[in-house]
Structure 1
Amino acid sequence: MRGATAGRRQLDALTFALFSVALGTNVPTPLLLVYRDTLELSESDLTAIFGCYAVGLILALSVSGAASDRFGRRALVIPFGVVAGLVSLLFIPAAESLPLLYAGRLLQGAVSGVVFSVANAWLQELAGPEGQQSAATRGAVSTSLGFAIAPAMSGVLAQYGPAPTALPYLVHVGVLVLGLAALRGVPETVHERRPGRLMHLGLPREARRPFRALLAPTALGIFAFPAVAATLLPLLVVPDGVGVAYAGLLGGLALGSSAVAARVGRTAERGAPLGMALGAVGFAVGVVAVVLESEPVLLPSAVLLGAGGGLCLTAGLTLTARLAPAETRGAMNSAFYAFAYIGFGTPLLLAWLTSAFGAVPALAAFVAVPAGLAVWLWSELRRTVPD
């Protein structure tokens, strides 16, 4: 009993540490409206700043998982957790510097790429073979909660508190210190050096087709859906009138729905196609919001898009844990997250399509993408993971 209690405490500590890093990633999201005014940024600038997060993240993912398989989980999670705090502090002077904003988001992506992939592998190993589903749910929920709380907290502090472009980041640093301190009692789970190439995505041969057919398309919805809800749709509906607190509410609502869906959507076989279907409906409601120029209609759109992303996250992590051998678990988690964070480029892609074809035609046409993926995933899951 004592051993089980200690194991749960270790899982709780690592879960909280993962949450504390995730909390920092969306602090800048509602503040983009502040930066738009202080730096006179265009919508393309805003979506590019938001999207370059994915560039740093994917670069980090190409080496972090394999490096943690070789050197251990603690060796990467703790140092990069410290860097996450330093990056938050970098954003404070970035309010008056466009290059620093880009640098901050790029570094934030790199830190997230390391911590999210490696910490999830660490959780899976701490939980053991019988706890894979629980570990996947912990990773999905803690990450989603961090993503969800950050924009709501940041938006409220920025609109109603002092130092709007500094206080939200300082609050994150305080939470992060507690999260890293909690890791002191969490043991390393990699006990032997595992030689191999550091720059690879670690897909074992037998898992390559299921990864391409199931995990890669599932991953795309995880952040594409809430990113569009939190950034692009508010700008399209009320280009000059959305308040920082309201933008934070939309981001928090989308990512909060993602966290709830990640917690309740435990059935991997159904979560992926259902998540894509919800994303398609969320995009359709977003089109209605743009046509009507209605802020209230953005609320159900944000809920649907966020829930779709959360279902995709739990489904993907569960299938990744099922497919990954122990010696490549970190690398395979990195591969999954690499595809997931490609979704952060969706607002930038849609902003470009909107400028070329108009907001309503671009968004309406895009509804077909998650709808088609939902049908594809349902078919592939019946073939690959039969009842």
Structure 2
Amino acid sequence: MSRRVASRGSANRPAAGAWPVVFCALFACSWCGNQFSPLLLMYENVEHYSTVDVNAFLGVYVFGLAPALLAAGALSDRFGRRPLMIVAVVSSLAASLSLLLGEANVAGIYVGRLLSGVAVGAAMSVGTSWIKELSRAPFDDDADVGSGARRSSLAFTAGSATGALVAGGIAQFTAWGEELPFAVHVVMTAPLLFLIRRVPETVRWDGVKLGFRDRFRVPSASHRRFTRVVVVAAPWLFAAAALAYGYLPVLLADRTAGWGLGYAAILSVVTLGVASLVQPLAKRIDSTSNARGLVVCLAGITGGILVLTLAVVYSSPVIGLVAAVVFGIAMGIGLVSGLLEVQRIAPERELAGLTGVFYALAYAGFLTPTLLAAITPPLTTVGLFLGLAVLACASAAVIMLSYRKHLPENEAPANSIGQVASR
């Protein structure tokens, strides 16, 4: 069995303030992943793709993202954070170039979206773990236990919001919406390829070889706290995001004619901006002895779906903005709470791998609009939303009723990063 060792400066000289570079890389990759979302209406109205097509463009991203989340995290636990983070940044640049040079053809869009998924998947599993490891001594003596989770969650939400704001603003107010957003991203991201090389590596290995399957195994993914608490909540996190700024703009397209691209961008910025702002609150809600952070998240998502339903019933962009705020609050609390759960469950040698599993489950929620569009008709949008609200409420109830079963009274809950509770 190979043994992973966290490097605490033996192989690399500790560098104060190293985490901001990784923060920027995660920010840039998240920008890449979400810059496409507000452009869905443009591809539907200008390029005349169907609603099913544009939701497929949104959903195909998951098929690049999920394998990257699972593979990159596990591989970085073995071979180090830096090489996999470079792969993420290169993939984000290739994705934007494909969308920039593809001239809105189907092949270019699909390739760009798949590469965007690879970029975000690798960046989130590897970058989240790298930031966490750089947010402690000897790299950052001032950080507290939850700093890594908050910083990585902020990088994702702020990067996603910026991508939507830049792309949506350009598309709404200029004639270069199909090219310029992606060019801006390339220019802003390219310097990171050089900066990342100077960030201290936090993982080294003893050189023992593993079989192919063993390289990707994450035993802590079978931890009871993970499978019966975290797994229940994870898909709802990005289902909320996809509904708020991926599906709602399409449903209200007739009502927002003429400024639909701007409205889509506003929804993205509001959802993700609120998610960023509430993250300090999420740390206060989180607890090692229960799962109240994830319960609050799911309660908020249930409320968000109900408000979203009202927005569709009354064709109201204003109510849609309220729904985005509610979803943002729930998403911000859920992201931080979920990452803190993962970091308590995962041992050091599996941190990135389990983080990748968590994000893969969360990002499965981005398929929600595609699935809803495919079955509407025969089912109605309102009926499907009400069904989703019931499922979200039931998920919250499952966690409330079961979380203590996975923390037996004779076993202390995890109370520090990397500590494993009960299996």
TM-score of the pair, normalised by structure 2: 0.85
Residue number in structure 2 paired with 1:250: 267
Residue number in structure 2 paired with 1:25: 33
Moved more, 29-38 or 142-151: 29-38
Aligned residue for 1:188, secondary structure, equals: coil
Moved more, 228-237 or 45-54: 228-237
Cα separation, 1, equivalents of 2:89 and 2:280? 24
Query: Do structure 1's residue 48 and structure 2's residue 66 form an aligned pair?
Result: no
Aligned residue for 1:191, secondary structure, equals: strand
Residue number in structure 2 paired with 1:127: 135
**Aligned with residue 204 of structure 2, among 184, 191, 198:** 191
Report matched runs for 1:135-214 at 5 Å: 135-192=148-205, 193=207, 195-197=209-211, 202-204=217-219, 208-214=223-229
Query: Do structure 1's residue 67 and structure 2's residue 75 form an aligned pair?
Result: yes
CA contact (8 A) 1:210 1:384 kept: yes
Query: Do structure 1's residue 312 and structure 2's residue 366 form an aligned pair?
Result: no
Code of the residue aligned with 1:316 in structure 2: it is G
CA contact (8 A) 1:222 1:343 kept: yes
Indicate the RMSD between aligned Cα atoms, in angstroms: 2.2
Unaligned runs of 5+ in 2: 1-8, 138-142, 408-412, 416-423
Structure 1 pair 381/247, CA: closer, same or farther in 2 (3 Å)?
same
Tell me how far 1:8 sits from its aligned partner.
Answer: 4.7
Unaligned runs of 5+ in 1: none
Aligned residue for 1:355, secondary structure, equals: coil
Cα separation, 2, equivalents of 1:309 and 1:198? 35
Residue number in structure 2 paired with 1:235: 250
The CA deviation string for residues 91-131 of structure 1, in whole angstroms up to 9 with x for no partner, is 01334301221121111111211111011111222224874
Aligned residue for 2:186, secondary structure, equals: helix
Residue number in structure 2 paired with 1:107: 115
Cα separation, 2, equivalents of 1:383 and 1:137? 28
Cα separation, 2, equivalents of 1:13 and 1:93? 28
The CA deviation string for residues 128-180 of structure 1, in whole angstroms up to 9 with x for no partner, is 48744110111111111111121122111111134211111111122212444
Structure 1 pair 239/203, CA: closer, same or farther in 2 (3 Å)?
farther
Moved more, 194-203 or 94-103: 194-203
Instruction: Give the helix-richer structure, 1 or 2.
Output: 1
Residue number in structure 2 paired with 1:357: 379
Tell me how far 1:218 sits from its aligned partner.
Answer: 2.2
Aligned residue for 1:76, secondary structure, equals: helix
Cα separation, 1, equivalents of 2:329 and 2:221? 31
Cα separation, 2, equivalents of 1:369 and 1:106? 29
Cα separation, 2, equivalents of 1:197 and 1:113? 23
Moved more, 54-63 or 170-179: 170-179
Tell me how far 1:68 sits from its aligned partner.
Answer: 0.8
Tell me how far 1:307 sits from its aligned partner.
Answer: 1.9
Aligned residue for 1:367, secondary structure, equals: helix
Cα separation, 1, equivalents of 2:208 and 2:393? 41
Tell me how far 1:283 sits from its aligned partner.
Answer: 0.5
CA contact (8 A) 1:201 1:335 kept: no
The CA deviation string for residues 359-381 of structure 1, in whole angstroms up to 9 with x for no partner, is 11111121111111122223334
Aligned residue for 1:357, secondary structure, equals: coil
CA contact (8 A) 2:91 2:118 kept: no
Query: Do structure 1's residue 9 and structure 2's residue 17 form an aligned pair?
Result: yes
Tell me how far 1:201 sits from its aligned partner.
Answer: 5.7
Tell me how far 1:198 sits from its aligned partner.
Answer: 5.1
% identity of equivalent residues:
31
CA contact (8 A) 1:38 1:95 kept: no
Cα separation, 1, equivalents of 2:145 and 2:354? 15
* Structure number with larger C-alpha Rg: 2
Tell me how far 1:195 sits from its aligned partner.
Answer: 4.2
Structure 1 pair 263/229, CA: closer, same or farther in 2 (3 Å)?
same
